[in-house]
Amino acid sequence: MLMSIAKTIVMPRDRIVGPTSDGPEEERFNYALRPQRFAQYVGQESLIRKLNIAVQAARSRKEPVDHVLLHGPPGLGKTTLAHVIANEVGAQVHVTNGPALTKGADLVGILTKLSFGDVLFIDEIHRLSAVVEEYLYPAMEDFKVDITLDQGAHARTMTIPIQPFTLVGATTRIGLLTGPMRGRFGISEHIEFYDPESLHQILKANAKLLKVEAEGPALWELARRSRGTPRIANRLLRRVRDFATVEGDGKVTLPITKSALELAAIDGQGLDDQDRQFLRTVIEVYGGGPVGIEAVAATMGEERDTLEDVIEPYLLQNAFVTRTRQGRRATKVAYEHLGLKWKPPQQQANGDGSLFDNANGAEGIGRGEEETREVAKNDRKDDRKPRGTR
Ligand code: ADP
């Protein structure tokens, strides 16, 4: 069984419903479609309301907006929001990401170039190194950076003031952020998957912007199959537009949309090959679970982070899988979606012993333990005192 599954588990590199960017061409395309102001930003109503209040309050006090932390899966509009905040306050946005800032000097270089009220957007902020993080604390709190000159006995610390700014941090993994880092954000919000109505509104506006002639039912079909993610909705619109040009008369109709999505192997729920492989791995290799994420990743030949950040959130949100203390478990919805016969968990456990084999045998560790370890790691990180308070 393992062999036959392994053979089918060939990862499509060009993952059409993958919420991460496909590259510069897609970025250019998305850039043109990016909402510029709160009023144009579709969905996330409660988040937008809170941010709008923070922006208005800051403007009236002539202060920069509070630091904002946005957490949630990729492709939902975190970068877009950083630009919108900057536009609303009439400031510039400076974009970087955690892994790119390898040394304190990288960050200091950016911080000292900021003008009053500018927005510094740091994507994947959970991946900042401890050293860089410590430069960020006094910058966020007191708008200053402390740099050390010389070494050993001659070492001196020099404090450089910087312009008051707003840090917008984005992360797919709030759990990996240190306590001191999290505590320095005035606003910390989860960004949710979009409902089909919001995605339909986005698609309708974008079809108009791109001068694509699209029928209403076709846009609804796309909205339902975009995994709750605007970046995917935009990508599918582009694919269907191309398909309509080549296979039809350029008009995006429902049959054209369905054929284009079928060609891309995107099913009625918006799941692609990789999503289905995830479910098939849990069900066919691990008897429906519970199974640790490391074991699933190893079987699929995929990074654990990719599964956790990109694939799982949508499957969890739509109840295809659940997370238990022992590991991931496929639900009845998943079995039915794949056209497989559902076995209740009791039967799974008694039938083939998978409850124990999978939770502990394959990986030697259940999810509960993994999480405990992750928390323990963060607690250790949390012990680090911010610079200046030592
Ligand atoms: P993230 O930073 O969360 O990965 P992005 O901000 O890069 O996501 O969003 C990807 C693309 O999706 C944007 O360039 C934009 O075209 C589109 N988009 C995101 N959120 C919205 C929204 N609320 N309304 C309209 N388009 C959106």
Q: What is the pTM of this model?
A: 0.81
Check whether domain 273-343 has CATH 1.10.10.10, yes or no: yes
What's the gap in Å between 179 CA and the centre of ligand 1?
Answer: 28
Report the residue among 70, 80, 237 best suited for mutation to probe ligand 1: largest number of ligand atoms under 8 A from its CB: 80
Report the residue among 25, 231, 232, 234 best suited for mutation to probe ligand 1: largest number of ligand atoms under 8 A from its CB: 231
Check whether domain 196-263 has CATH 3.40.605.10, yes or no: no
Contact (CB, 8 A) for 35 and 84: yes
pLDDT digits (tens), the chain, 390 positions: 444 443 333 333 456 666 666 667 767 667 778 899 999 999 999 999 999 999 999 999 999 999 999 999 999 999 999 999 999 999 999 999 999 999 999 999 999 999 999 999 999 999 999 999 999 999 999 999 988 887 788 888 889 999 999 999 999 999 999 999 999 999 999 999 999 999 999 999 999 999 999 999 999 999 999 999 999 999 999 999 999 999 999 999 999 999 999 999 999 999 999 999 999 999 999 999 899 999 999 999 999 999 999 999 999 999 999 999 899 999 999 999 999 998 876 555 544 444 443 333 333 333 333 443 343 344 334 333 333 332
Instruction: Write down the domain spans for the chain.
Output: 44-190, 196-263, 273-343
Residue-by-residue DSSP string for 159-181:
EEE----EEEEEES-GGGS-HHH
Taking alpha carbons only, the member of 138, 116, 119 closest to residue 78 is 119
Residue 8's SS3 state is helix
Of ligand 1's listed atoms, the one at least distance from the Cα of 33 is: 16
127 token code pair: 């991946």
Q: Is the alpha carbon torsion for 140, 145, 146, 147 positive or negative? A: positive
- Burial pattern 291-319, b for ≥16 Cβ within 10 A else e, equals bbbbbbbebbebebebbbbbbbbbbeebe
| CATH number for the segment(s) 44-190 | 3.40.50.300
Phi (first) and psi of residue 182, to 5 degrees: -60, -40
168 token code pair: 């917008």
User: What are the contacts of 300-305 at 24+ separation with CB within 8 A?
Assistant: 300/9, 300/11, 301/9, 301/11, 302/11, 302/274
